[in-house]
Structure 1
Amino acid sequence: MKKSLLMLCFFLIGITNAQNIQSPSKNIRVDFNLNADGTPQYAVSYKNKLVVLESKLGIKLKEGGDLVSGLTIDNVKNTSFNESWKPVLGEQSSIQNHYNELTVSLSQKATQRKINIIFRVFDEGVAFRYDFPKQPKLNYFIITDEITQFNLAGNHKTFWIPGDFDSQEYVFNETRLSEIDNDKLNLNNGIALKTIGGKTVVQSPLMMKSDDKIYLNIFEAAVVNYPVMHLNVNTKNFELTSFLVSNAIGDKAYLQAPCVSPWRTIMVSDDARDIVSSKMILNLNEPSKLDDTSWIKPMKYVGIWWEMHVGESTWDYAGSQNASNVLDQSLKPTGKHGATTENTKRYIDFAAKNGFDGVLVEGWNTGWEDWAGNWKEEVFDFVTPYPDFDIKAISEYAKSKNVKMIMHHETSGSVANYERHMDRAFENMVKYGYPAVKSGYVGRIIPRGEFHDGQTMVNHFNYAARRAADYKLMLNSHESSRPTGYSRTYPNYIAAEAARGNEFNAWSTGNPPDHETILPFTRLLGGPMDYTPGIFEIKMNHYDPKKTEQVHTTLAKQLALYVTMYSPLQMAADLPENYEKYPDAFQFIKDVAVDWDESKYLEAEPGDYLTVVRKAKNSGKWFLGAITDENARNSEIKLDFLPKGKKYKAIIYEDAKNAHWQKNPIAYKIKTVEVTSKSAIKLTLAPGGGTAISFEPVK
């Protein structure tokens, strides 16, 4: 009798205080419980091995107590979900969204408040979020901290950058978790504005690999009306805790119930290809809010941009005269201004001749003389061109050549000013036929005291996408908070920068050869990146013999990046004359697609190498990109992704035998072979090199 009663008590405790849920494949399991203090805890297992040890969950509030302890379980709900959906633009024409869900409803007797914790478990990982239901005792509230922990099972190899509230434009560090230390970094890296959260604060997504070859990635999805989450690392016990970016007065988030937090995500696999190919972040965002998406088109473009970075021209019209009104007749042009009518028409001609969709022009509008570093409120009005830029004539000329113009809106960090002018700026774009805008946020944010990654700015970046959609305009943001899948909800948010791009190679220590092998495991998990590849003149002494800077890749790797760095908005970033010197290599950039029906990650190892093959949208053509770090690499790729029974012409753009990213970067060769699905191709990548292949059906 006593034994039966004891067993019944254990059974009831198991129902009320401990729950678990598995992925559809049953490889991943989440265990949830409340500890003796009523604090929520969870753990994650992969193939019966703990990868996240028992970790605490909870929310701290500014007023009226915290939702951290003293909680009890009111209800538990289990559901499953399985559907496929079609992205407007993407790596796949169809994406599977399959998960099991556990919702734990909690209440706090002392405050009579309620909070739900929702877990979703996919075959590639785990996601969870806080849900605040509508309730009498919690209406408007302020979050001061999130007690979200990721208690890791070991001292993993980690790819990390500092937890900077204002910039993600860092090279990655590859160390053990125990070795993370921002104080030891050389921060003379070309980043003008730095606001690092602490000695051991790092950014997510955080990519890791355990000693037993388990790949882990901690990130977040659907960051809406909430600050960005960085991570504070305990370098002794490998416990990570959420570190939310505050606003100007130290608060983290202002919310009103009902509402939810972003999803906190943990990807896990013993195959790195599962991480880099995951669509979990996109799946955790809401479906598209746009009824009509027919106007959202992929674009391949050139533009007046790289010539400023290499010193051939300038963004400003009048130089160091520091004029607040460049239309003042006393001002004299320096003659170095890049965005002139004549120069823009030259780029339009080049785009039309080579089949490019668009032309970007930076520095076209007044204000560039008087803002850098000044924290000035009103710099740009986003509609007034310089005297040497005839926006109407250029618009008409581009239209006659069937080329679209891409607008540039540099905000100088004065977000309040941009929002005041946004509608007039977008109306101006519609008037002159600009379908897409590249926005920039260089500098300290106005309203003063806000950070790029705070709630205010997250709301602004998302608002800009929504408002652009009202005008049927596509958005490409630079210096924004990093994307977390919002492009599913607003697919006109076509791309973003939010990482260290190719331009750093022109005037700083640059991006090391492993940089592009890490970005697909980190930044690109949240959405497409405008990395601006395609630089053919690798060494900057081409422009000035005194310069020592260079792009840290071979030319062949620059071609491969068009496949490995996914974006439906891809720039051929070099100068037209540089492409005209290498027309055979330039052919790949002209041919490669930017929107895809299918993508397969054939080889992957973060920090070392990546090989991807993609099928062009509504086409029989396939394109392959393979890249490596500073080490040479040989491999053999089976072509079983090609349709059976069909012949293809494979045009292979590869490193020459003597190619080397530093010693001989422009050495490449091109060969053509006939292949089928039964064929295999040997890849030979130079140090810092790559291979690009186009597969064309043989008729």
Structure 2
Amino acid sequence: MRDGLIYKILPFLAGAIFLFSGFNAASQSMDLSSRLGSNKITLSLTKNGELKYRVTRRGKIIIADSPLGLNCDDQDFTAGLSLVTVSPIEVRRETYELKVGNVKTINHVFDTKSITFKNRSGALMIIDLVSGQEGVAFRYRFPDQAKKLRVINTENTGFQIEKKAKGWLQPYNKAGKVTPGYEDFYLNIHPGDSIRNPRNPSVGWCLPALFQVNEGKNWVLLAESGTDGSFPGCHLQPDSQGGLYKIAFAEKDEKYTLPLGDNNHPASNLPWTMPWRVIIIGEKAGDILLSSLITDLAPASKLDDTSWIEPGKATWSWWSHPEDRSPEIYNAFTNLASSFGFAYTLFDAGWEKANTEGGIIAKATAKGVKPMVWGYSAAYFDAEKRKKRFKELAAMGVKGVKIDFWCSDRQEVMACLQSLFEDAANEHLLVNLHGTTVPRGWHRTWPNFMTAEAVLGTEHYFYESRYPDLAAEQNTVLPFTRNVAGPTDYTPFALTIRKYPRLNTAVHELATAMIYTSGIIHFADSKEMFDSLPVPVRQLLKDMPATWDKTESIVAEPGEQIILARQKESLSYIVGINGTNKVVPVNLNLAKYAKGFSKFRVITEGGNSLMSFKTETYPITSTWQYAFAPKGGFIIQFVNE
């Protein structure tokens, strides 16, 4: 299968005139529409040579006139710009498979165009445009071959959102002991609202950011793709007066324990290609959830052989036994993985001593369970030490690493992560990032990158008093925001009551394992809890895949409810969760999803909704009616029995 193949076709008339008759560049079209014309991005220059853009869908404004431009240490590209050339339109086809995703095989076609501008001193800046059925994107490029270092002081890029829109945005926490880590609540706001009640002091808004615009007729997600070592991860400035959200770079003090310098501005040798600014657009929120535009724009896989990369499920002792680092507890979770047919077990902080004393890695491999081990970011920042450590781990039988406490979006960290994925792949190691930034299409480029935290997950039953009340709502927002950016290590199925008592039903917690997409699903609870489960729930956990061939959004209402149809080979499910405190009616057409099956098994709340389950099996009928419990859920599996 060809990955990221670009086809060149005959240019449109305007491009042909430009190529063959020397037509004045100023008359060239600075817009680009998708194949069917639904999504369009249009650039324009003001009288002062300031660059702006707008985005429309079927003629309706999605992003109103918004600024573009870069101010650098040696050149200014924010004013005094003039048009130089407009390239012919090309067709770009992206065909690839994902190891981790809502859909296994992607085959998308885009229109592309590049527009070159010069500033008053004659220096060039190129804007690459992409438009497709799922949205539009743009990026900056400096084509100068001078090999000199350039620093960007400010990026002028903004996103003008209408004031009456609705938004779901997460505060970007300022640097601290465990921040920024993308572990705050998504707040339901209106453009222009200030940040309110964040978990930690905050300096902006995170990407991705979700909005409902155009009088509720369209959804839009702002995101990034393809960030590598030549650029920091970016967020949005906190001041969005008038609904203009502007790009902000990682903060200077985002160092944590890493040996980073004082310059937090993007810097690179020329030529320089920067990350994509991605604008995903849909008629329904479900269109956002299912979009692969972020991976479509990311670089193609850099691994020729991915046969060794296997998504799967894992046991994990830390959530249920955070203070117990004994060989006995690690071995108990290895046995649990073996009994449920899970491919992996994760040995968290403290595993080294347990391995020295009790040989926990050898015991796991002897049982056919693949061990993953925890590590500290600072120990993997130096390239030579990292490579040496990966070789040592692979020789021990380790199959993956969980590397924690990055707490930075700085450019140096983005560079380290790319090298880390590569070095890990060279030793056939899978990667799980924690205390980290959100992914940016990296799981396409490096298929051994299986999952990342960057989410307010179930560990916050320990740490956040507001979490129990807000968790259900967040669980119906994150699939349309964080999980669109990449695989999400939410660590589901946290049934045991912790410091801040859970309010979601047990079925809701179970269903999150099938709502979130993660290359390795780390289940949170104890061996005793797993052993106490009724047989149908135990069987579901054994059968449940970690990634999907096909996903369909049936109900998509961020903050309220979500229902997905999921398929993996011969397995077929419908899974839903309620994000509200209300009873919500559900009416599904089962016949549409039941082809080849005679019955369906449904798991719902038992008598004690917090801790128990009820399982019933029925013949396939055309419709199924149900009432979501408050903060509840359900799981349907189609069966033949």
TM-score, reference length from structure 1: 0.82
- The answer to whether structure 1 residue 649 and structure 2 residue 592 are counterparts is no
Residue matched to 1:355: 341
Choose from 193, 207, 210 the match for 2:210: 207
Identify which of 594, 607, 618 aligns with 1:673.
Answer: 618
Q: CA deviation at 1:399?
A: 2.4
Report the Cα offset of residue 620 of structure 1. 1.2
Asked whether the equivalents of residues 506 and 551 of structure 1 are also in contact (C-alpha less than 8 Å), the reply is no
Which residue pairs with 1:159 in the alignment? 168
Asked whether 1:426 is paired with 2:435, we answer no
Inter-partner Cα distance in structure 2 for 1:292 and 1:356: 23
How many angstroms does 1:471 deviate by?
0.8
Bigger radius of gyration among the two = 1
- 1:178 paired with 2:142, answer no
2:458 paired residue number: 502
- Output the CA distance in 2 between the equivalents of 1:598 and 1:433: 33
SS at match of 2:144: coil
Equivalent of residue 476 in structure 2, options 501, 517, 521: 517
Question: Is this contact kept in 2: 1:43–1:53, CA < 8 A?
Answer: yes
Q: Contact (CA 8 Å) 1:536, 1:579: kept in 2 or not?
A: no
User: How far does residue 674 in structure 1 lie from its aligned partner after superposition?
Assistant: 2.5
Answer whether contact 1:233 1:239 (CA < 8 A) is retained: no
Aligned to 2:632: 689
Q: Does 1:528 align with 2:487?
A: yes
Describe the SS at the equivalent of 1:163: strand
How far apart, in 1, do the equivalents of 2:455 and 2:270 lie?
33
Question: Is 1:241 matched with 2:205?
Answer: no
8 Å contact from structure 1 (residues 592, 694) kept in 2:
no
Cα–Cα, structure 1 residues 51 and 363, in superposed 2: closer, same or farther, change >3 Å?
closer
Q: 1:597 is matched with which residue?
A: 549
Which aligned pairs between 1:212-611 and structure 2 lie closer than 5 A? Answer: 212-225=216-229, 226-232=231-237, 234-247=239-252, 248-309=261-322, 314=323, 338-365=324-351, 385-386=352-353, 388-390=354-356, 393-411=359-377, 416=381, 419=383, 421-441=385-405, 452-509=408-465, 510=467, 512=470, 513-537=472-496, 539-540=497-498, 547=499, 549-584=500-535, 585-611=537-563
Structure 1 residue aligned with 2:20:
none
Q: Distance in 2 between matches of 1:249 and 1:344?
A: 41
Deviates more, 1:69-78 or 1:475-484: 69-78
Q: CA deviation at 1:237?
A: 1.3
Task: Return the alpha-carbon distance in structure 1 between the equivalents of residues 162 and 361 of structure 2.
Answer: 58
Residue 144 to residue 254, structure 1, CA distance change in 2 (3 Å): same
Code of the residue aligned with 2:172 in structure 1: it is: G
CA distance in 2, matches of 1:83, 1:254: 29
Of 458-467 and 526-535, more deviation after overlay is shown by 458-467
Q: Is the 8 A contact 2:340 2:541 kept in 1?
A: no
Residue 391 of structure 1 and its aligned partner are, at CA, apart by 6.8
Structure 1 residue 153 displacement after superposition: 2.8
User: What is the Cα deviation at residue 649 of structure 1?
Assistant: 3.1
Give the partner amino acid of 1:133.
P
Q: Which amino acid in the other structure matches residue 586 of structure 1?
A: R
CA pair 695-276 structure 1, distance change in 2 beyond 3 A: same
Structure 2 portions without partners, runs of 5+: 1-22, 175-179, 253-260
Name the counterpart of 1:149: 158
Matching residue of 2:70: 59
Deviation at 1:614, TM superposition (A): 1.2
Give the stretch that moved more between structures: 451-460 or 420-429.
420-429
Contact 1:559 1:588 in 2 (8 A): no
Match of 2:55 in 1: 44
Runs of 4+ in 1 over 4 A off after TM superposition: 12-15, 413-416
CA contact (8 A) 2:379 2:386 kept: no
| TM-score, scaled to structure 2 | 0.89
**Counterpart AA for 2:600:** A
**Aligned counterparts of 1:243 and 1:163: Cα–Cα separation in 2:** 11
Q: Which amino acid aligns with 1:437?
A: V
The match for 1:633 is: 584
Q: Is 2:15 the partner of 1:72? A: no
Give the distance between the partners of 1:116 and 1:583, measured in 2 at CA. 60
- The secondary structure found in structure 2 opposite 1:178 is coil
Shift of 1:14: 8.8
Cα deviation, residue 667, structure 1: 4.2
Contact 2:597 2:638 in 1 (8 A): no
Distance change >3 Å, CA 307–CA 266, structure 1 → 2: same
Please report how far the alpha carbon of residue 680 of structure 1 lies from its aligned counterpart in structure 2 after TM superposition.
2.5
Contact 1:341 1:390 in 2 (8 A): no
* Whole-Å separation in 2 of the counterparts to 1:407 and 1:66: 47
Structure 2 CA distance for aligned equivalents of residues 114 and 100 of structure 1? 23
Task: Say whether the 8 Å CA contact 2:320–2:524 is kept in structure 1.
Answer: no
Q: Compared with structure 1, are the counterparts of its residues 15 and 681 closer, same or farther at alpha carbon in structure 2 (3 Å cutoff)?
A: farther
CA RMSD in angstroms comes to 2.2
Instruction: State the Cα distance separating 1:431 from its structure 2 match.
Output: 1.5
Q: Which shows bigger deviation, 508-517 or 295-304?
A: 508-517
Secondary structure class of the residue paired with 1:691: strand
User: Aligned partner of 1:560: which letter?
Assistant: A
Write out per-residue CA displacement over residues 478-497 of structure 1, whole angstroms, 9 at most, x where no aligned residue.
Answer: 01111011110100011111
Aligned pairs for 1:609-620 within 5 A? 609-616=561-568, 619-620=569-570
Cα contact 1:159–1:172 (8 A) shared by 2 = yes
Alpha carbons of structure 1 residues 304 and 421: separation in structure 2 relative to 1, 3 Å: farther
The structural deviation recorded for 1:272 is: 1.2
Measure how far apart 1:307 and its partner are.
2.3
Overall identity of the aligned pairs, in %: 23
User: Structure 1 pair 595/186, CA: closer, same or farther in 2 (3 Å)?
Assistant: closer
Aligned-pair distance for 1:473?
0.7
1:196 is matched with which residue: 194, 197, 202?
202
3-state SS of 2:402 partner: strand
Give, as a single letter, the amino acid of the residue that structure 2 aligns with 1:674.
P
Code of the aligned partner of 2:121: T
For residues 295-323 of structure 1, give each alpha carbon's deviation from its aligned partner in whole angstroms, at most 9, with x where no partner exists. 101121102211244xxxx1xxxxxxxxx
Q: 1:653 to 1:255 in 2, by over 3 A?
A: same
CA offsets per residue over residues 409-430 of structure 1, 9 Å max, x none? 133x5664x6553223212221
Q: Matches of 2:439 and 2:423 in 1, distance apart?
A: 17
* Aligned positions, number: 598
Residues 465-516 of structure 1, C-alpha deviations (whole Å, 9 max, x = no match): 1110111111000011110111101000111111211110133222512011
1:400 Cα deviation after fit? 2.5
SS of the counterpart of 2:151? Answer: strand
1:499-539 Cα deviation digits (max 9, x unpaired):
211110133222512011111111111111111101222x2
The equivalent of 2:258 in structure 1 is none
| C-alpha distance in 2 between matches for 1:153 and 1:57 | 18
For the structure 1 residues 484 and 83, does the alpha-carbon distance in structure 2 shift closer, same or farther, using more than 3 Å as the test? closer
Q: In 2 relative to 1, CA 624–429 (structure 1 residues): closer, same or farther, beyond 3 Å? A: farther
